[in-house]
């Protein structure tokens, strides 16, 4: 009886592997999935994540030992990735490209042949990534079902662990699939400015900036402090960091807006509850060759000053910091990150060009200004997230209603949940 059950379950797993091999034909050189039945276009969902989604398993973020939850989460991520990639159109386009690449006179037009070849390579890579993920999902699910039927704790634990790891990978790929904006893959500048409220808001602004630094470091991005103006008693009045890494702007752009904090003030002897605000702006870091914005030197007022802060023997003795005011727009940028005045000026000019470029894009497209304009343009009514530390604990995004009950982890840089929720919501709106 046991042997028959094993053969039955292994047959299902092997059947799923056959499905995966058939799907691989989509991106194998010169081959595509053939229609199974007359009238079938060969592009409909068969097996894969759809099979797991049909089970209706509940997705939970709490239990690491719930293999069904992990499997359902992976399937959801795959479904979202396919929707974002417009899966059927991708497969159809691959068929068209294969037909073009199979023509004997293809290389008579080398430029077009190269274009077709590059496009096919990119699309095939996307398909291969998704199909491989589906194949791994089905194999783990098949082994988990077999293990639990036969009470094999070791195999069950291995399958659960594999699904948990795959869930993390799928979540990351889901994020990447949602980043299709023109500059999403770029590095970026993140600017934080304290709102009205004196020391309270300045302290809150420094907490927000620390949150982004830790988030960036957790993702292995490089963080450079470009500019920082300390508060009189605590915190910062404003600060700018540059975050270098793939998709830094695509992720961080979701954080632009006003962040609101409610807590018992550490600066209030009466221990009263205070509300503080900090504004965040995110600007893509663009290369000079990409920014077709001509800046007239006569439109600039350049000021040089000594760098602030507690910095060593050199920092306060030379006027290495640079502030640039663009007179026509009133935009102010400054940099004091480097000992070299010339390098600080170059960084400030790059920031100014990026800001002017984004303002022009906004003007033309009438896009949402909170992602692209200066901090002074972000209105205090455009709150995107509330952080409540007392009398209860909660962080809630007002755009998506995504919330967590552990503010400490959020303030320590764990904001990917908010980012994913916003990107997913934007993709369906």
CATH label of the domain that carries residue 161: 1.20.58.410
Spatial neighbors of 310 by CB under 8 A, at least 6 apart, are: none
Domain co-membership, 271 together with 414: yes
Q: What confidence category does residue 266 fall into, taking pLDDT thresholds of 50, 70 and 90?
A: confident
Same domain, 6 and 112: yes
Among the candidates 132, 147, 177, a domain finishes at 177
Do residues 169 and 314 share a domain?
no
Residues 263, 324 within the same domain? yes
Question: Lowest-pLDDT range, 133-137, 248-252, 284-288, 382-386?
Answer: 284-288
Closest CA to 45 of 118, 121, 134, 114: 134
User: What is the rounded CA–CA span in Å between residue 358 and residue 369?
Assistant: 9
> In the predicted model, what is the mean pLDDT of residues 31-47?
41
Which secondary-structure segment (H or E) carries 342? helix 341-365
- Structural domain that includes position 119: 2-177
Q: Are residues 233 and 87 in the same domain?
A: no
DSSP secondary structure code for residue 337 in this structure: S
Residues 296 and 162 in one domain: no
Residues 13 and 162 in one domain: yes
The answer to whether the beta carbons of residues 306 and 319 sit under 8 Å apart is yes
Residues 165 and 204 in one domain: no
Q: How many of the other CB atoms lie within 10 Å of CB of 320? A: 23
* Whole-number average pLDDT of the chain: 80
Whether 173 and 231 share a structural domain = no
Same domain, 333 and 196: yes
Measure the CA–CA gap between 97 and 93, rounded to whole angstroms.
Answer: 6
Task: Show which of 152, 177, 202 is a domain's final residue.
Answer: 177
Short-list 214, 235, 202, 350, CA closest to 284 = 350
In a domain, 182, yes or no: no
Both 161 and 199 in one domain: the answer is no
| pLDDT reported for residue 9 | 47
pLDDT digits (tens, 9 = 90+) for 61-85: 667 788 999 999 999 899 988 988 8
Across 100-117, average pLDDT: 89
Report the C-alpha gap between 156 and 149 in whole angstroms.
Answer: 10
Instruction: Give dist(CA 78, CA 66) in Å, integer.
Output: 19
């Amino acid at each position: 009886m046991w042997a028959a059950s094993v053969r039955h379950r292994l047959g299902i797993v092997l059947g799923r592997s056959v499905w995966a091999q058939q799907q691989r034909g989509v991106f194998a050189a010169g081959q595509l999935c053939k229609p199974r039945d007359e009238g079938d276009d060969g592009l409909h969902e068969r097996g894969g994540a759809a099979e797991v989604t049909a089970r209706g398993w509940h997705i939970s973020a709490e239990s690491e030992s719930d293999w069904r939850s992990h499997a359902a989460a992976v399937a959801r991520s795959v479904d979202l990735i396919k929707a974002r990639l417009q899966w059927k159109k991708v497969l159809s386009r691959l068929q068209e490209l294969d037909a073009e690449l199979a023509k004997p006179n293809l290389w008579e037009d080398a430029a077009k042949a190269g274009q077709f070849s590059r496009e096919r390579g990119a699309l095939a890579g996307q398909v291969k990534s998704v199909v491989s993920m589906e194949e791994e999902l089905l194999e783990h699910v098949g082994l988990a079902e077999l293990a639990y039927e036969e009470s094999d704790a070791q195999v069950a634990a291995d399958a659960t662990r594999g699904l948990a790891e795959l869930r993390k990978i799928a979540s990351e790929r889901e994020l990447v699939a949602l980043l299709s904006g023109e500059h999403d893959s770029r590095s970026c500048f993140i600017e934080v400015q304290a709102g009205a409220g004196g020391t309270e808001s300045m302290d809150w602004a420094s907490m927000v900036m620390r949150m982004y630094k830790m988030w960036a470091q957790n993702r292995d991005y490089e963080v450079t402090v470009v500019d920082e103006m300390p508060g009189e008693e605590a915190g910062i009045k404003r600060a700018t960091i540059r975050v270098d890494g793939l998709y830094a702007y695509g992720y961080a752009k979701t954080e632009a807006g006003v962040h609101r904090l409610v807590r018992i003030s550490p600066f209030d002897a009466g221990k009263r509850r205070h509300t503080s605000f900090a504004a965040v702006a995110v600007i893509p870091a663009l290369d000079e060759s990409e920014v077709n914005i001509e800046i007239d030197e006569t439109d600039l007022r350049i000021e040089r000053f000594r760098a602030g802060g507690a910095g060593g023997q050199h920092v306060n003795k030379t006027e290495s910091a640079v502030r640039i005011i663009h007179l026509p727009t009133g935009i102010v940028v400054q940099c004091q990150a480097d000992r070299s005045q010339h390098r600080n000026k170059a960084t400030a000019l790059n920031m100014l060009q990026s800001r002017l470029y984004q303002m022009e894009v906004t003007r033309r497209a009438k896009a949402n200004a909170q992602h692209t304009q200066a901090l002074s343009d972000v209105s205090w009514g455009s709150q995107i997230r509330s952080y409540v530390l007392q009398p209860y604990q909660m962080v809630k995004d007002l755009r998506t209603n995504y919330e967590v009950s552990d503010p400490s982890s959020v303030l320590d840089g764990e904001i990917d949940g908010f980012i994913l929720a916003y990107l997913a919501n934007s993709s369906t709106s």
